[in-house]
A and B are shown apart, each in its own frame.
Chain A
Amino acid sequence: MKLSSKDMLGIRDLPREEIDLILDTAASFKEISERTIKKVPTLRGKTVITLFFEASTRTRTSFEIAAKRLSADTINISASTSSVVKGETLIDTARNLESMNPDIIVIRHSAAGAAQILAGLLKQSIINAGDGAHEHPTQALLDMLTIREKKGRIEGLTVAIVGDIAHSRVARSNIYGLIKMGANVVICGPAMMIPRGIERMGVTVCCSMRDAIRNADVVMMLRMQLERQEKNLFPSLREYAQQFSLNRDNIRLAKDDVIVMHPGPVNRGVEIAPDIADGPSSVILEQVANGVAVRMALLYLLSGGTK
């Protein structure tokens, strides 16, 4: 089986079978990262460009490591070093990169739809590493891989996603993916951060943190995205922490075997108490490890690989 699209732009239009394919492939690739010699020749001779118009440590590094473990050549371009600062348009940048004939371009951009512009323009495979508040498909895939590993399934689980839903591409991609895989998704956050009409995506909206995490199998905490918010959106971080922080007190409402997830970077003491982030329920670092495996799987499958 192969992926049906040349690009990975989002989870919304990704069929369930292809999610399974990516997760199965990723699971089989995990072992490579645990070897002494962490490299296989699968993508030797392929070139992967990461084009990041937004700051990122985790995601960019994860893509680079994933590509290198498969023996692809990687080139990282970030906005501060690119010709963007000289006024070049995204389309011109993309066309110039295309002329150098890479195989895969990974793009992160603060504007929703940016990856789609490239996908429509270039013959190369485009991977969306986050576009505005729209989608972040590889994050959702690594989250689903982590849930599947820990719980043995996704279908039938109750997943609570808590935080600034309105500005979160992670929330959107996870909602699409988890609902497709048969989970019950409850979302929760300050009322002004719950975007209009989100029930139509198939989620249950809950205003109270305690109600949202009651009997949850998975609690996914999101970061307050202060850099994306307009002013006057919320009174203070103190107020936020009081109302929407996951802590020792409220986590008891969730199932005993709850797992706690966070896409990072974590604002300790804001959306999550430090002892919970570091506690036995937390799978935050396993998410990061799975990120490399999922990205390896995706680079492999988009390069024409099959399973």
Chain B
Amino acid sequence: MNVVLKGGRIVDPSQGMDAVSDILIEKGKISRIERDITPSKADSKNTLRVIDLQGMIVSPGLVDMHVHLREPGFEYKETIRTGSEAAVAGGFTSIACMANTNPVNDNRSVTEFILKQARLAATANVFPVAALSRGQAGETLTEFGDLKSAGAVAFSDDGNPVTDSGLMRHALEYACSLDMPVLSHCEDRGLSSSGLMHEGFISTELGLPGIPAVAEDIMVLRDIALARFTGTRVHIAHVSTAGAVQAVREAKAAGVHVTAETAPHYFTLTDEALRGFSTNCKMYPPLRGAEDVEAVKEGLSDGTIDAIASDHAPHSSVEKDVEFAYAANGIIGLETSLALSLKLVRDGILTLPQLIEKMSTNPAHILKIPKGSLTPGCDADITLIDIHKAWTVDAGTFRSKGLNCPFDGWNLIGKAIMAIVGGEVRYTDTGAAV
């Protein structure tokens, strides 16, 4: 069925568009964007659906370039199906899933399995990120070429830093020659290994071993130095420190091909949230100090940080309802990411087009996937957003299997009311008047 989206405010940074207009979707593609697209006589209710979107935002489908779907291996935490359902419920029509599954996604068969499960789920577009090293052990490169042809879109040992600088250099060089991005989890384990939270006054009071900000800064600086030396591209995952923001800012000014993402929790929460030892505030990198949070916001505002990604990391109560020291790292994010990020717009840190750029156009561009645009001819992946809708987070109602959400019970403003993937409506918010 074809669809007309009528009267919404279309915000598409990929073509510099911010205007009230209509969109015609035909055969799963964006066909036309014009004011007043009216159904012709040939169209009937069975062949054309008209959706009235007055007051709503029409965005290119949001792209979350950093999620953990846990399948294969940890299906009790999340599956590709439940993760995809969480994605569209959060407004994400495309997600890139990290390789730290069991078995690790370090070979063609795992990549193909992920793509097959995603096809069967038929919900969001799933783009596998393959491991950079075999078993994510940081020793031997995976078969980049074969993984690319199997459908992987990037390489990363996310969850583990690439400690061996020589291996990282080779990964950057080889990936660049294949026009594939490398996503780097920046952590100097010598500095962070025993740590459980950000090192600062709060960790001192709580008696928890600290993870110093410099553990992240050092690896960001190393990766920038390697990218500069080899003339390649590197993408810094989940930036959380003022030092990392500054390093990326300076590298960009010097012409180094570096991009960076941060996650909503790094501009929403500080290490103060750890008082009370809530394991739902335990993740890597850890929640940082107030000055880091300010620096991350500045980095988003001045363009240093290109993308917002949730680092959606579902865990079950088995991993989280335990002593803080024993709890697994990570929080879920797909279903709260948009609302938490929309606050940046209300606070004047980003304009709405800038936000959509960071949650759709830019991540698609970094991953080199044909998404993040409403240009005619593109796949009709569209997120419809009510930026004024007030709602209360109830993790128990989430599509994700994970309950590990530090924002449970928060009152948020702004929500995806519909997600369209390839012209098909994959999610409609209950109670939305569309």
**Does B203 count as interface, using CB distance less than 8 angstroms?**
yes
Q: Which residues of A are found within 8 Å of B199, using beta-carbon distances?
A: 196
Contact A197 B194, beta carbon cutoff 8 Å: no
| A90, B322: Cα distance in complex, Å | 7
Closest beta carbon of chain A to B211's beta carbon, Å: 11
Q: Which residues of A are found within 8 Å of B206, using beta-carbon distances?
A: 112-113, 134
**Does A116 count as interface, using CB distance less than 8 angstroms?**
yes
**Does A157 count as interface, using CB distance less than 8 angstroms?**
no
**Does B60 count as interface, using CB distance less than 8 angstroms?**
no
**Does A242 count as interface, using CB distance less than 8 angstroms?**
no
Which of B30-38, B47-55, B323-331 lies at the interface?
B323-331
Contact B323 A113, beta carbon cutoff 8 Å: yes
Given A116-B276, A117-B277, decide whether A12 and B205 contact each other with a Cβ distance below 8 A: yes
| A265, B322: Cα distance in complex, Å | 29
Contact with B along A161-205 (1 / 0, CB 8 A): 000000001001000000000000000000000011110110000
Give the contacts of B180-204 with A (CB-CB under 8 A): 193-194, 199-201, 203-204
Contact B207 A198, beta carbon cutoff 8 Å: no
**Residue of A whose beta carbon sits closest to that of B210:** A196
**Does B250 count as interface, using CB distance less than 8 angstroms?**
no
Closest beta carbon of chain A to B195's beta carbon, Å: 10
Q: Which residues of B are found within 8 Å of A196, using beta-carbon distances?
A: 199-201, 203-204, 210, 212
Q: Which residues of A are found within 8 Å of B200, using beta-carbon distances?
A: 196-197
Contact B204 A112, beta carbon cutoff 8 Å: no
Give the contacts of B300-328 with A (CB-CB under 8 A): 321-326
Contact B324 A112, beta carbon cutoff 8 Å: yes
Partner of A132, one of B193, B201, B207: B207
**Does A8 count as interface, using CB distance less than 8 angstroms?**
no
**Does A133 count as interface, using CB distance less than 8 angstroms?**
yes
Given A116-B277, A230-B193, decide whether A133 and B322 contact each other with a Cβ distance below 8 A: no
| A183, B47: Cα distance in complex, Å | 81
Q: Which residues of A are found within 8 Å of B207, using beta-carbon distances?
A: 112, 131-135, 169, 172
**Does B121 count as interface, using CB distance less than 8 angstroms?**
no
Closest beta carbon of chain B to A173's beta carbon, Å: 10
Give the contacts of A98-137 with B (CB-CB under 8 A): 109-114, 116-117, 131-135
| A91, B321: Cα distance in complex, Å | 8
Q: Which residues of B are found within 8 Å of A109, using beta-carbon distances?
A: 323
**Residue of B whose beta carbon sits closest to that of A199:** B201
| A172, B207: Cα distance in complex, Å | 8
| A11, B393: Cα distance in complex, Å | 34
| A117, B276: Cα distance in complex, Å | 9
**Does B208 count as interface, using CB distance less than 8 angstroms?**
yes
Closest beta carbon of chain B to A94's beta carbon, Å: 11
Contact A172 B205, beta carbon cutoff 8 Å: yes
Q: Which residues of A are found within 8 Å of B193, using beta-carbon distances?
A: 230
**Does A250 count as interface, using CB distance less than 8 angstroms?**
no
Q: Which residues of A are found within 8 Å of B276, using beta-carbon distances?
A: 113, 116
| A91, B324: Cα distance in complex, Å | 12
Contact B321 A112, beta carbon cutoff 8 Å: no
Closest beta carbon of chain B to A194's beta carbon, Å: 9
**Does A80 count as interface, using CB distance less than 8 angstroms?**
no
Closest beta carbon of chain A to B198's beta carbon, Å: 10
- What's the interface size class on B, roughly? 20 to 34
Q: Which residues of B are found within 8 Å of A133, using beta-carbon distances?
A: 207-209
Contact A112 B194, beta carbon cutoff 8 Å: no
| A195, B206: Cα distance in complex, Å | 11
Given A135-B207, A230-B193, decide whether A111 and B325 contact each other with a Cβ distance below 8 A: yes
| A90, B200: Cα distance in complex, Å | 28
Contact A195 B325, beta carbon cutoff 8 Å: no
Q: Which residues of B are found within 8 Å of A201, using beta-carbon distances?
A: 204-205
Contact A112 B322, beta carbon cutoff 8 Å: no
Contact B203 A89, beta carbon cutoff 8 Å: no
Closest beta carbon of chain B to A165's beta carbon, Å: 9
Of A12, A111, A131, A134, most buried by chain B (CB within 10 Å of CB) is A111
| A195, B197: Cα distance in complex, Å | 13
| A116, B207: Cα distance in complex, Å | 14
Contact B201 A200, beta carbon cutoff 8 Å: yes
Closest beta carbon of chain A to B48's beta carbon, Å: 55
Closest beta carbon of chain B to A119's beta carbon, Å: 11
Closest beta carbon of chain A to B275's beta carbon, Å: 10
| A230, B199: Cα distance in complex, Å | 15
Contact A197 B322, beta carbon cutoff 8 Å: no
Closest beta carbon of chain A to B32's beta carbon, Å: 57
Q: Which residues of B are found within 8 Å of A197, using beta-carbon distances?
A: 200-201, 204
| A143, B40: Cα distance in complex, Å | 87
| A201, B205: Cα distance in complex, Å | 8
Closest beta carbon of chain B to A132's beta carbon, Å: 5
Contact B323 A114, beta carbon cutoff 8 Å: yes
Contact B322 A89, beta carbon cutoff 8 Å: yes
Contact A91 B322, beta carbon cutoff 8 Å: yes
| A111, B322: Cα distance in complex, Å | 10
Q: Which residues of A are found within 8 Å of B204, using beta-carbon distances?
A: 195-198, 201
**Residue of A whose beta carbon sits closest to that of B278:** A113
| A112, B323: Cα distance in complex, Å | 8
| A172, B208: Cα distance in complex, Å | 12
Partner of B324, one of A111, A169, A172, A200: A111
Contact A90 B194, beta carbon cutoff 8 Å: no
Contact A89 B321, beta carbon cutoff 8 Å: yes
| A116, B275: Cα distance in complex, Å | 11
Closest beta carbon of chain A to B422's beta carbon, Å: 44
| A20, B212: Cα distance in complex, Å | 38
Closest beta carbon of chain B to A11's beta carbon, Å: 11
Closest beta carbon of chain A to B321's beta carbon, Å: 6
Q: Which residues of B are found within 8 Å of A110, using beta-carbon distances?
A: 325
- 6 additional contacts (CB under 8 A) given A12-B205, A111-B326: A90-B322, A112-B207, A113-B276, A133-B207, A134-B206, A196-B212
Question: Could you list some 8 contacts between A and B, CB below 8 A?
Answer: A109-B323, A113-B277, A116-B277, A135-B207, A196-B199, A196-B212, A200-B201, A230-B194
* Residues of A that sit less than 8 Å from B by CB: 12, 89-91, 109-114, 116-117, 131-135, 169, 172, 195-198, 200-201, 230
* Residues of B that sit less than 8 Å from A by CB: 193-194, 199-201, 203-210, 212, 276-277, 321-326
Minimum-distance CB pairs A-B, first 10: A113-B277, A197-B201, A133-B207, A134-B207, A111-B323, A195-B204, A111-B325, A113-B324, A112-B207, A230-B194
